[in-house]
């Protein structure tokens, strides 16, 4: 582990990602004692500001315990935040000039010598737009690379826009930083329930033994957000929902859900298996897609009404995509990814629908469904049939319910970024995306994306759906085409099957 000799440098330190995710994650790790007391953090960005301004703008508002917390909890938070502030400093500089990185080096050397560090380790966190990734990675390597200690660089999507642009970007990065030094974040891999998937599967015989085409009819991985692109339309329009969420977050989840048992839980063994299963997925077919774009409803603006969105854009804000895995375990099982902005609720879940009970003794009985709810409120539940209690013999669908809030009431579930930054400190690559994994992930999506981008002729026009709805009206028809049977929330059984 990297103990006291490490300095963290956050590039893009004046930006939103740093403020909302990076600094709070670093702070929480620091507060909980996961990072060394004598850590130092340097923020670097173009904006000129003093240390004090940096502290008040980017760190001062990190959320503490709520209003109803005890005074001692509030005091403890304040004390830690003061300490965290005292170990954070700021350097302003350009992203494409050696002079800025030289100033950064000076600050690094200063804080390292103050702590008497002989073999400095440097962790560079790039909270930056992709347009400057490569140039910053070069500037850092040239000017700020520690020759005595170890260096690590953390980067985050978007990693290009298709297979070729991703390859270009990755190979430019590789000229400077080795695979071992590179940590590619997909923050879904830091989410508690996504991390749980391998344990659930390989730690439960009953589950793993039913995890195949013989028992499972179809799988849905759903990502729903109740808000649109408000103000972020400029960025979003260039990418669309598929690049924003499906190609990375949902595909990573899918690969963990479907990979074979790894030889061990070491990072290379796990990632080998992920790559293997991804290689069995052919690129997504046009006819296996349903694209949507939200329109205004109930006073909420439509996508095209966002001033930051180009006029007449056909960028999808919703996509349902069906993927197939050509291997003996999963052949013929549809994996439906659904992702959308401006929908009716906030929810990310995996829903595994089992096949029907063999015909003969029941007229109508609900399918088993295993649901892994990633957020909000982590839960795992199995839709499960039981006899209605009492003097009748009638099936009733119910649940085997593991809701984390009740079962693990005291547990603190870390934020994804906390888990991942700590992994990077420890040098554990398991929950980061490997280069070959990224490449194969892009191959699955690139032909479809080129079609949507209008590279093969006219771009397809997405179906409209009202802001706040469940998505385009064709969605139920789409999922049922792949065998999904909408189940019976609150359904009263019309017959008494076993009498
Ligand atoms: C990001 C996307 O990667 O993930 C956003 O760019 C999306 O559009 C976000 O809102 C969702 O992350 P989370 O952790 O809120 O589910």
State the pLDDT at residue 499.
33
* Cα gap 419→197, rounded to integer Å: 16
Q: Ligand 1 centre and the CA of 188: distance in Å?
A: 9
Residue 489 has pLDDT above 90, yes or no: no
Which atom of ligand 1 has the smallest separation from the CA of 248? 3
Report d(CA 314, CA 311) in Å as an integer.
Answer: 9
Residue 26's CB is within 10 A of a number of other CB atoms, namely: 26
pLDDT tops 50 at residue 283: yes
Quote the CA–CA distance of 430 and 269 in Å, as a whole number: 9
Q: Residue of the nearest CA to atom 6 in ligand 1? A: 244
Reply yes or no: is the peptide bond before residue 278 cis, omega within 30 of 0: no
CB 325 within 8 A of CB 281: yes
CA-CA distances (angstroms) from residue 425 to 41, 194, 273? 13, 20, 24
Residue 404 has pLDDT above 80, yes or no: yes
List the residue whose alpha carbon is closest to atom 15 of ligand 1: 225
Ranges of H-type helices in 382-456: 404-407, 416-426, 435-452
Peptide bond just before 28 cis, omega within 30 deg = no
State the pLDDT confidence band at 233, using cuts at 50, 70 and 90. confident
d(CA 270, CA 264): 7
The neighbour count for residue 476, using CB atoms within 10 Å, is 13
Q: What is the pLDDT of residue 488?
A: 58
Taking the C-alpha atoms of residue 229 and residue 211, their distance in angstroms, rounded to an integer, is 36
The residue-averaged pLDDT of 204-216 equals 97
Question: Is residue 36 very low, low, confident or very high in pLDDT (cuts 50, 70, 90)?
Answer: confident
Question: How many C-beta atoms lie closer than 10 Å to residue 16's C-beta?
Answer: 11
Alpha carbon nearest to ligand 1 atom 11, residue: 245
Which residue, judged by its Cα, is nearest atom 5 of ligand 1? 244
Tell which residue, 82, 7, 78, has the closest CA to residue 38: 7
Pocket test for ligand 1, best of 20, 129, 187 (most atoms within 8 A of CB): 187
Q: Which of 187, 249, 429, 450 is catalytic?
A: 249
* pLDDT surpassing 50 at residue 348: yes
* CA of 187 relative to ligand 1 center, distance in Å: 9
Å from CA of 495 to ligand 1 middle: 44
pLDDT in the model for residue 1: 58
386 has pLDDT over 70: yes
Q: Is the CB of 186 under 6 A from ligand 1?
A: no
Tell me, letter by letter, the H, E, C secondary structure of 396-414: EEEEEEEEHHHHCCCCCCC
Active-site residue flag, 450: no
Question: Three-class SS of residue 152?
Answer: strand
What would the two tokens of residue 151 be?
Answer: 């260096």
> What residues contact 51, with CB distance under 8 A and at least 6 apart?
88, 89, 90
Judged by average pLDDT, the poorest of 101-115, 229-243, 310-324 is: 229-243
Q: Answer whether residue 496 shows pLDDT above 70.
A: no
Q: pLDDT per residue over 45-57, tens digit each?
A: 999 999 999 999 9
Average pLDDT score over the chain: 93
Q: Looking at residue 67, what is its pLDDT? A: 84
Q: Strand 151-156 to strand 335-340: parallel, antiparallel, or no bridges (unpaired)?
A: unpaired
Ligand 1 atom closest to the Cα of residue 191 is 14
> Looking at the predicted structure, is the pLDDT value of residue 247 above 70?
yes
Check residue 493 and give its pLDDT: 36
C-alpha–C-alpha distance, residues 263 and 438, integer Å: 21
Tens-place pLDDT, residues 56-65: 999 988 988 8
C-alpha closest to that of 162 among 465, 485, 496, 456: 456
CA–centroid distance, residue 333 to ligand 1 (Å): 27
In this prediction, what percent of the chain has a pLDDT beyond 70?
Answer: 97
- HSE, side-chain direction, 13 A CA sphere, residue 228: 30
In a mutational test of the pocket of ligand 1, which residue from 192, 241, 249 has the highest number of ligand atoms less than 8 Å from its CB? 249
**463 within 8 A of 191, measured Cβ to Cβ:** no
Of 64 and 287, more confident: 287
Mutate to test the pocket of ligand 1, among 225, 228, 341, 420 (most ligand atoms within 8 A of CB): 225
Report the complex ipTM.
0.96
Q: How far does the centroid of ligand 1 lie from the alpha carbon of residue 136, in Å?
A: 24
Q: Convert 402-438 to b/e letters by CB count within 10 Å (16 or more is b).
A: bebeeeeeeeeebbbbbbbbbbbbeeebbbbbbbebb
DSSP string, 161-190: SSHHHHHHHHHHHHTTS-GGGEEEE-GGGG
Token readout for 332 is 């013929």
Atom of ligand 1 nearest to the CA of 348: 16
The pLDDT confidence band at residue 2, using thresholds 50, 70 and 90, is low
Say yes or no: CB of residue 244 within 6 Å of ligand 1. Answer: yes
45 Cα: distance to centroid of ligand 1 (angstroms)? 23
CA of 239 to the centre of ligand 1 (A): 13
Burial class, 178, CB count within 10 angstroms (exposed 0-12 / middle 13-18 / buried 19+): exposed
Per the model's pLDDT, the better-predicted residue between 486 and 416 turns out to be: 416
Report whether residue 418 contacts ligand 1, using a CB cutoff of 6 Å: no
Share of the chain above pLDDT 90, in %: 85
User: pLDDT confidence of 235, banded at 50, 70, 90?
Assistant: confident
CA distance 378 to 349: 9
Separation between Cα atoms, residue 127 and residue 45, nearest integer Å: 10
Q: Can you tell me the mean pLDDT for 185-209?
A: 97
CA–CA distance, 309 with 303 (Å, rounded to integer): 7
CA distance linking residue 344 with residue 493, whole number of Å: 28
pLDDT in tens, 118-163: 889 999 999 998 889 999 999 999 999 999 999 999 999 999 999 9
Question: Which ligand 1 atom is at minimum distance from the Cα of 236?
Answer: 8
**pLDDT of 234:** 86
Which atom of ligand 1 is closest in space to residue 239's alpha carbon? Answer: 6
Per DSSP, the residues of 181-225 read GEEEE-GGGGSHHHHHHHHHHHT-HHHHHT-STTTEEEEEEEEE-
Using CA positions, which residue lies closest to atom 4 of ligand 1? Answer: 245
In this structure, the chain runs to a length of 499
CA distance 368 to 357: 9
Structure confidence by residue, pLDDT tens digits, 406-452: 999 999 999 999 999 999 999 999 999 999 999 999 999 999 999 99
Residue 135's contacts (CB-CB under 8 Å, 6 or more residues apart) are 95, 96
pLDDT at position 68: 86
């Amino acid at each position: 582990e990297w103990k006291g000799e490490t300095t963290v440098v956050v590039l893009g330190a004046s930006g939103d990602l740093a403020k909302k995710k990076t600094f709070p994650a670093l702070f929480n790790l620091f507060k909980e004692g996961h990072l060394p007391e004598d850590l130092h953090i340097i923020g670097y960005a173009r904006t000129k500001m003093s240390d004090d301004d940096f502290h008040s703008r980017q760190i001062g508002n990190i959320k503490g315990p709520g209003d109803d917390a005890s005074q001692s909890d509030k005091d403890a938070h304040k004390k830690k935040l003061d300490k965290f502030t005292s170990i954070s400093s700021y350097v302003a500089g350009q992203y494409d000039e050696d002079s800025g990185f030289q100033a950064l080096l000076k600050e690094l050397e200063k804080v390292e010598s103050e702590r008497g560090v002989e073999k400095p380790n440097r962790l560079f966190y790039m909270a930056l737009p992709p347009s400057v990734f490569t140039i910053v990675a070069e500037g850092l390597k040239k000017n700020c690379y520690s020759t005595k200690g170890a260096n690590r660089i953390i980067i985050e999507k978007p990693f290009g826009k298709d297979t070729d642009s991703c390859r270009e970007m990755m190979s430019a990065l590789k000229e400077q930083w080795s695979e071992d030094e590179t940590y590619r974040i997909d923050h879904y891999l830091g989410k508690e329930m996504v991390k749980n998937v391998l344990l659930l599967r390989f730690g439960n015989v009953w589950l793993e033994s039913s995890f195949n085409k013989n028992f499972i009819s179809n799988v849905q991985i759903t990502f729903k957000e109740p808000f649109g692109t408000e103000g972020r339309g400029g960025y979003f329009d260039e990418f669309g929902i598929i690049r924003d969420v499906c190609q990375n977050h949902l595909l990573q989840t899918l690969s963990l859900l479907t990979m074979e048992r790894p030889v061990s839980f070491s990072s290379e063994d796990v990632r080998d298996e992920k790559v293997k299963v991804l290689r069995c997925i052919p690129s997504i077919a046009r006819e296996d897609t349903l694209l949507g774009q939200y329109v205004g409803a109930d006073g909420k603006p439509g996508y095209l009404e966002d001033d930051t969105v180009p006029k007449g854009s056909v960028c999808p804000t919703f996509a349902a995509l069906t993927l197939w895995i050509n291997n003996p375990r999963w052949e013929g099982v549809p994996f439906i990814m659904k992702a959308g902005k401006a929908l009716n609720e906030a929810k990310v879940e995996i829903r595994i629908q089992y096949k029907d009970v063999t015909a003969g003794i029941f007229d109508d009985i609900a399918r088993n469904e295993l649901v892994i709810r990633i957020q909000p409120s982590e839960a795992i539940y199995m839709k499960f049939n039981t006899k209605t209690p009492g003097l009748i013999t009638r099936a009733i669908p119910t649940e085997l319910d593991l809701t984390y809030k009740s079962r693990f009431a005291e547990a603190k579930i870390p934020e994804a970024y906390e888990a991942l930054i700590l992994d990077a400190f420890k040098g554990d690559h398991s929950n980061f995306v490997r280069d070959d994994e990224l490449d194969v992930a892009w191959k699955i999506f690139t032909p479809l994306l080129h079609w949507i981008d209008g590279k093969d002729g006219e771009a397809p026009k997405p179906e409209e759906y009202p802001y706040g709805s469940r998505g385009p009206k064709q969605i139920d028809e789409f999922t049922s085409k792949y065998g999904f049977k909408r189940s019976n929330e609150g359904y009263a059984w019309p017959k008494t099957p076993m009498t």
